[in-house]
């Protein structure tokens, strides 16, 4: 792919671990050039995290490899005068500055928003933190699990017997990163019109609660607090996990016609004339009885057999896969979701990394270079500085001054 949406956008990435690096990974996939600024000798903490101790010791832990392909790594200590000068030269021609320090850390070392704006009036500065830059909790330490707990997310995860439970992956980090990436692209669009940069204050807590959707809004509207329901759907029945002959099967017959088709295909037309299951609200009130009847009927075939029978008939149904099974999905292969890259340690191993889930004009967005070794691009800083400066700043400043007709011909 030659021209991605963010081709020409230059990002300085000061972030660590997941939320920030995940954000800049999305920007890279969309075409941005990302320079990862790392602490000399140590780098991103994620370099030392993952299930393989040897990779962790080598500074290329699995947690780092997951969302840092396609970026460059430059070691700079922002408390060192020479490194600060190099950083400021890059900053002067950057389009985006991204960080996920605790609120106020960057300001305390001399780079608050007024100073950043003086150094680069068109800069889009995005700060990701657990609770935002303001408020009584802005200095509280925050990891994904802390945010999951404070958002109410854990309280509705699991069953009444097992809740609260942490979601099985760092969803608050990921949602925070996605929210930041969305805000950055919107800010770049606004700058295209105005020529002015802005300061984006991203709160992982608020992003997580926004993503909880109905669990929050139903309470705000109805005053009824949501409760943990395990694998059942509070808005419909039958909708959840059921028991096929060889294991679990998800079915979401949320609409009346889907329920009727389900009853026909499992040979239980009698359920359609049972007053307990006559409509959505009745089925929700008698969820346990309905689930029992369905589990009895579903036990006669395997989960895959039911999936192949129900799904083509319009009843959402599918097996529950393990992560290894999901990774080998033919659907993902068809869409080109994963990309194979060489390991950065020149070992000859193959590194498989995820994409964004978006096709751009029919083409998946993929990284083209392997995750960088710590400081791999240190020697290129003068070249990068000169190239960024000669390319002009900001990346869209020339277009911002054109009329729509001139822009189409630019």
Q: Note down pLDDT in tens along the chain; length 410 residues.
A: 468 999 999 999 999 999 999 999 999 999 999 999 999 999 999 999 999 999 999 999 999 999 999 999 999 999 999 999 999 999 999 999 999 999 999 999 999 999 999 999 999 999 999 999 999 999 999 999 999 999 999 999 999 999 999 999 999 999 999 999 999 999 999 999 999 999 999 999 999 999 999 999 999 999 999 999 999 999 999 999 999 999 999 999 999 999 999 999 999 999 999 999 999 999 999 999 999 999 999 999 999 999 999 999 999 999 999 999 999 999 999 999 999 999 998 888 999 999 999 999 999 999 999 999 999 999 999 999 999 998 875 665 544 444 444 444 44
pLDDT for the residue numbered 410: 40
pLDDT for the residue numbered 398: 41
Catalytic residue, chosen from 13, 93, 95, 173, is 173
Q: What is the pTM of this model?
A: 0.92
pLDDT for the residue numbered 402: 42
pLDDT for the residue numbered 395: 64
Single out the residue of 255, 252, 261 nearest to residue 280, CA to CA: 255
Domains of the chain: 10-211+331-409 (3.40.50.10540), 239-320 (3.30.1540.10)
Are the beta carbons of 145 and 133 closer than 8 angstroms?
Answer: no
Q: Assess whether 201 carries a catalytic annotation.
A: no
């Amino acid at each position: 792919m030659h021209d991605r949406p963010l081709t020409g956008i230059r990002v300085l990435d000061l972030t660590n671990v997941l939320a920030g690096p995940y954000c800049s990974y999305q920007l890279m996939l969309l075409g941005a050039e990302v320079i990862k600024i790392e602490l000399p000798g140590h780098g991103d903490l994620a370099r030392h995290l993952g299930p393989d101790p040897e990779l962790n010791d080598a500074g290329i832990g699995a947690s780092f490899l997951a969302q840092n392909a396609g970026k460059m790594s430059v070691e700079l200590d922002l408390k060192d005068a020479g490194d600060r000068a190099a950083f400021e030269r890059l900053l002067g021609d950057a389009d985006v500055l991204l960080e996920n320090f605790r609120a106020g850390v960057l300001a305390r070392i001399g780079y608050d928003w007024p100073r950043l704006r003086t150094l680069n009036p068109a800069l889009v500065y995005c700060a990701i933190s657990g609770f935002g830059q303001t408020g009584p909790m802005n200095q509280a330490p925050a990891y994904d699990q802390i945010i999951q707990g404070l958002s109410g997310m854990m309280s509705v995860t699991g069953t009444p017997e097992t809740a609260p439970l942490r979601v099985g992956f760092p969803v608050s980090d990921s949602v925070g990163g996605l929210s930041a990436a969305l805000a950055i692209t919107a800010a770049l669009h606004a700058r295209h019109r105005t020529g002015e940069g802005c300061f984006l204050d991203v709160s992982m807590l608020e992003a997580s609660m926004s993503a909880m959707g109905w669990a929050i809004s139903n309470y705000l509207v109805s005053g009824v607090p949501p409760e943990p329901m395990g694998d059942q759907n509070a808005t419909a029945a039958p909708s959840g996990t059921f028991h096929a002959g060889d294991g679990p099967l998800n079915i979401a017959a949320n609409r009346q016609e889907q329920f009727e088709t389900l009853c026909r295909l499992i040979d239980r037309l009698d359920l359609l004339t049972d007053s307990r299951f006559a409509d959505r609200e009745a089925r929700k009130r008698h969820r346990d009885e309905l689930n029992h009847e369905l589990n009895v009927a579903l036990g006669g075939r395997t989960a895959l057999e039911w999936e192949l029978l129900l799904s083509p008939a319009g009843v959402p149904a599918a097996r529950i896969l393990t992560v290894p099974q999901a990774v080998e999905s033919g659907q993902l292969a068809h869409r080109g979701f994963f990309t194979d890259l060489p390991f950065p340690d020149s070992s000859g191993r193959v590194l498989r990394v995820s994409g964004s889930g978006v096709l751009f004009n029919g083409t998946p967005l993929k990284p083209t270079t392997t995750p960088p070794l710590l400081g791999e691009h240190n020697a290129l800083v003068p070249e990068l500085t000169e190239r960024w400066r000669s390319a002009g700043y900001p990346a869209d400043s020339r277009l911002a001054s054109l009329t729509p007709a001139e822009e189409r011909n630019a």
